[in-house]
Structure formats: structure tokens, C-alpha cells
Chains A and B, each alone.
Chain A
Amino acid sequence: MGKTIAEKILSNHAGKDLRAGDIAICDVDFCFGQDGTSAIIIDSFKKLGMKNVFDKSKFYMIIDHSAPSPNIGTSEIHKKMREFAKTFDVGLYDIGCGVCHQLIPQKGHITCGDLVIGADSHTCTYGAINVFSTGVGSTDLAITLASGKNWFKVPETIKVVVNGKLPKGVYSKDMILHIIKDIGANGATYKAIEFYGDAISSLSVDGRFTITNMAVEMGAKIGVMTADKKVLKWVQERSSKEPKPVAPDIDARYVAVKNYDVSNLSPQVAKPHTVDNVADVEELKSVKIDQAYLGTCTNGRFEDLEIAANILKGNSIHPDVKFVIAPASKEIYLEAIKKSLIEIFIKSGATVVGPGCGPCVGTHNGVLADGEVAISTANRNFKGRMGNPNAFIYLASPATVAASAINGEMTDPRIYKKRLS
């Protein structure tokens, strides 16, 4: 019986043959924490009594969740992180650099076949470039920071096959929301998901990150794809590490196989307050919105900004709507300036804030008022997520968010037919 991607990557890192259900100690290629999790990483690391981190080149801290700091408590955490970085001579991406899940692949820290853990649940994002990457807590991260290792249970794998040509105005975000609706918030708990199909291979690498980013919204440990030419090119342009692409065996064992056809898919919207509460945009036409948000580790990449800018160009956002835009990294921000996207956003009435996670996690830069409704390109719409438990969050693609910002209500982006890619 052959092996899945998860079984192969974990076997490679344990130095022995592993199958789903096995538990093993594995070597970790890269690990990181952000400002919501690093304070406890630092405390736990100190409790371990270690004098050094296992490998200075394999750990980074990123200040992105509240950047720049909105209050004294957070400032103290940021200070603690900066001091730790200096004392232990480890890397830190400070405010303004960007969102961890954009920076880590973009800056070339990881490559195909790697085993990566991050103290952030959306660490599963890097599966799009053939990495076994998963979120852990701060204590697990501290132990890896001390030893370079951690223990892993080899997950069973669900195979998801997505075929069909995406219609104009429908994107990878719609695809993953559609899949989450079917599998459910708890449908892949503890499992790996491997994604295949011509609808996946036709996506850019940026578009694929949107899909693997949301694997955890079904409870999955990883969401992973194979490394095709696009992935290898993307990775080699950014990382000097030798890629070690891993593909499953032809007779690998899957606990389930799910097939989808997206040829007739409508733009999808997740309604409050769970990510699997998904509807076609047509069903939500009368829902008025108070705020729109474009950005995050799900949809803050250049391609996302470009899709939104094409719809916004020459249009003004609705007078009752606040539109907040945060590019996912400094490099994306600069590219968006160069290509005049930022000018389009500002002229349309949107507010562009620095790269970071703020509005999505409700720390600052757009906290909602009681009863307000937001449409966001993020990955979670939990009650209270954007800072107020009495507000309502809908999740959608950059195109649906931009179209809705112009009209002040949930809007099908396909009305801007000529502007869509």
C-alpha cells in the first residue's frame, strides 16, 4: 500500500517509515510565532531553561496581529519580542513588514517537502507549495525552538478533487467556501486534505494559498497540494533552499474522496457566525453592509488587490460604507503603489492601512459597532472576531467585497462583467 503526502513528509522527517495513526518525533525545518502567541513562547522557552535556540536560521517572530500597537498591553508584548530577538539573535519581522503567512513563503524561509510549524492556526497555508505545515500552540513551539523537534501523529488523508473551469467573477475563495460548506467546520478534524483537479492546477500560486489557508476551517491539520511547474518556479524565485517535492503514491490510502465541479459555481458568501454557513451571493442581495475589508492571510495578496482595483477603478464606494484595505506585506504594498492600485483605492474612498492582521482579529483598524455588518475577505466570521460580539461578519472573495463596497449591500461581482478576469 502506497503513501499519502502527509505520510511521506513525516516519514522523511522522522527517519523511519510512518503510516496514518503512527506517532513519531520529527525534525522541524522552520518554526515561528506572531505577536498573539510569542509572549507565551518566550515564557515557555525561558521555563525550559535553554541558553540557545536550536537553529537561529530556522525561527522567526512576526509582529502582525496588532501592528503598530494600539495599546500599552500590546506594546509590552512587542517590546518583549524585540528584546528576545536581540538577546537570542533570532529574526524578527517588525511592524510594517506584513502578515506571517505571506512573509514566510515570500521571503524564502521554506520550500517543497519541508515540515513547518507555526504558533498560528493558519500555518496550513503553505500546503499550497507542497509543505507539511500546521498550527501549534506556544508551548509546542517553545519545545521545537529548544530542540528542533516535536512529536506528530500522522494524519489520515481526505482527497479533494476540484474540476471544471471557474466562471468569470468566481475565484479560489468561492471554491474553498463551497468545499467548506460541504465538508463542514468539523468534517476534517485531525485529518490532512490533499487538493487535486484542473480547477486547482489552473490557479496561480497566490490563488492556491487562499484554498490551503482555509483547510483549518474544516478542522484539518494540513491542506496540501503537489508541486507542479508553477509552484517550483514560485519557490525557486524566492528561496535558495533545494526543493524536495513530494507526491503521493498511486495506491495511497484515502479515508474519503470528494469530487467537486465548479463550472457553474456562483460567488459564495459565508454568513455569520460560522465559516461553513455558506450561501450563493444571489440569496443575500438585500443585505446592507456598513464595512468592507480587503486583506488578510487569505486574500491580501497582489492578485487579490488587483481584482478589487479593477472593479473599483473610477467608482466610488457607497457613502454609508467604510472600506478598509490592508496589503498582506510591504512588498505587495509597494507593488500596488507601482501599479497605481493604491491610487485607485484611495480615490474610490477606501482607507489603506499598513500590512497586518488588525481588522480581521479585531485588535484595531476597523472595529465594528453594535449591530454593524461587515463583508470581509478573511477566513473567520466568528461572533466577536472583528472586535464586537454584537456585529455580523460575512466572508467573500475580493471581487464580491469590492462590488459590495460600491453598492452598500451584498453584491454579485458579475455585474461588473467587463472588469473581471
Chain B
Amino acid sequence: MKHFARRLKVQDDINTDYVISGRYKFKIQDPKELAMHIFEDVDPGFASRVKKGDILASGENFGCGSSREQAPLALKQAGFQAIAAKSFARIFYRNAFNIGLLLVECNTDFIDDGDELELDIERGKLKNKSKGLILDIKPIAPVIKKLLEDGGAIEHFKKYGGFKFDKT
């Protein structure tokens, strides 16, 4: 499967209210319905451009603001394979991995909307095939990696009956 980059009109400090507005997330429980409204306030029409397997490329402090998990859930439901950003806010970072959404921290300056991308988590690389660039990904902590491998925090917890990390 090929993966293509999606970029928003706004780059830095994308908060969880921008991901999915309070107009929807307080009353809608169905992630499919939420996914239709992502980024509506900052980039109307964006949701309809997202295709399954896309990678969102953003700037600094992605996911700041509220702790509401509706934000990563709606992004996962929208079809994103991963979110790439220069940095992520703390609560969003945990929430995304907890529900099995991959986040990668790297320099996103050289990724344009529509670029073909390829992720190699094992080697810690994000390839921009359209531009012939290889970008380094900040290493993902083993604990986080473990949760992701198990399919999220719930699956991990069920599998082991608690947290099971090799080294804590």
C-alpha cells in the first residue's frame, strides 16, 4: 500500500479542539461520525481529502489542549496510518499509542501535501519518496513500542492482566 502526506493550512500548536471541535465531541460517541469533522475549524473540507493509509505531517506541539481521546480516535478512524510532527503534546502522545495510532517525531519541513512517504519504524526512518529524502525519526520508548505491538493499551492489559514491560 502506498502512503501519501497530508498537510493542514495551520502547522504549529494544533490542539485537540482543532482536531475535533467541541461542537461534536461532547455529544457524538461514534468515531466514524467524528472522523467526518476533523480539522473543520482550521481547514474546512480537509476531512474529505483524507484517504486510508495517509500520513498527516504537522509542526510543533501537535495535540496540545484537552485530554479528550476523541481526537486520536477520530484521526485513526479517518484512516491515517500515522501522524508525523516536529513535536507532540504529552497527553495526546499517550492517548494515541494507547489506542494504537502511530506517532512519529521528525523534521517535517520537507514534506509537502501529496508526497509519497514510506515508514520504517525498525530503522527509525521516514522516507519521502517524492523528494528522495530520508528523515530520522526520534526513537520511540520501548514501553510505547510494546503497547503499539500489542494493538494498544487495552489489548496489552488484557493479554498480560496488567502492564508487562521488560524494563521499568
Instruction: Give chain A's interface residues, CB within 8 Å of chain B.
Output: 23-25, 35-37, 39-40, 44, 47-49, 65-66, 71-74, 76-77, 118-121, 123, 135-140, 142-143, 146-147, 149, 151, 153, 185-186, 189-190, 219, 221, 274, 361-363, 380, 382-385, 387, 389
Contact = CB atoms under 8 A, between A and B. Distances in A.
Contacts of B143: 23, 151
Interface string B1-34: 0000000000001010110011101111100000
B15 A382 contact: yes
A219 B64 contact: yes
Contact of B153 (A35, A66, A140): A140
Interface stretch (B83-91, B111-119, B132-140): B83-91
A135 B64 CA distance: 12
Contacts of A24: 168
Given A23-B168, A151-B165, A186-B87, A35 B26 contact: yes
B64 A185 contact: yes
Given A147-B162, A382-B17, A387 B23 contact: yes
A23 B141 contact: yes
A383 B157 contact: no
Contacts of B70: 40
Given A149-B163, A189-B90, A383-B41, A66 B26 contact: yes
Given A48-B158, A77-B27, A136 B61 contact: no
Given A23-B143, A73-B27, 6 more contacts: A137-B67, A137-B95, A140-B95, A219-B89, A361-B22, A384-B17
B98 interface: yes
Contact of A385 (B22, B26, B28, B29): B22
Contacts of A40: 69-70, 73
A49, A186, A380: residue with the most chain B Cβ atoms closer than 10 Å:
A186
Contact of A382 (B65, B91, B98, B158): B65
A136 B89 contact: no
Nearest to A146: B157
